[in-house]
Amino acid sequence: MALFHVRMDVKIPHDMDPEVRADTVAREKAYSQELQRSGKWKELWRIVGQYSNISIFDVESADELHELLQGLPLFPYMDMEVMALTRHPSRIED
């Protein structure tokens, strides 16, 4: 398994049809919760005051992460920063 830190900044166009926006956001929530239940989306944290989040993914590969992220209904409206993670040698927990 591989861990990744992903920052997602959402930038939905202000002129998007409200019904399309509501549907897209609802599908995003359902998809993200499905990934959380599967254990692939380990952590999800809101950044205070922003339409952004910090997430931790536990996936088989960078390719799998890429596929999951592209499946997000809000993907076309996001800027993302992805960082691969590895254990720090000074960490005391397994």
Query: Does any domain span residue 92?
Result: no
The reported pLDDT for the residue numbered 67 is 98
pTM assigned to the model: 0.92
The reported pLDDT for the residue numbered 93 is 80
At residue 85, φ and ψ (nearest 5 deg) are -115, 150
Query: Does any domain span residue 58?
Result: yes
Domain encompassing residue 56: 2-85
> How many whole angstroms separate alpha carbon 42 and alpha carbon 35?
9
The reported pLDDT for the residue numbered 94 is 67
Give the mean pLDDT of 18-32. Answer: 98
Query: Does any domain span residue 51?
Result: yes
The reported pLDDT for the residue numbered 1 is 86
CATH code for the domain of 54 = 3.30.70.1060
Residues 33-84 have pLDDT tens digits of: 999 999 999 999 999 999 999 999 999 999 999 999 999 999 999 999 999 9
28 pLDDT above the threshold of 90: yes
Q: How many domains does the chain have?
A: 1
Per DSSP, the residues of 41-76 read EEEEEEPTTSSEEEEEEEES-HHHHHHHHHTSTTGG
Query: Does any domain span residue 90?
Result: no
> How many whole angstroms separate alpha carbon 4 and alpha carbon 79?
16
Query: Does any domain span residue 60?
Result: yes
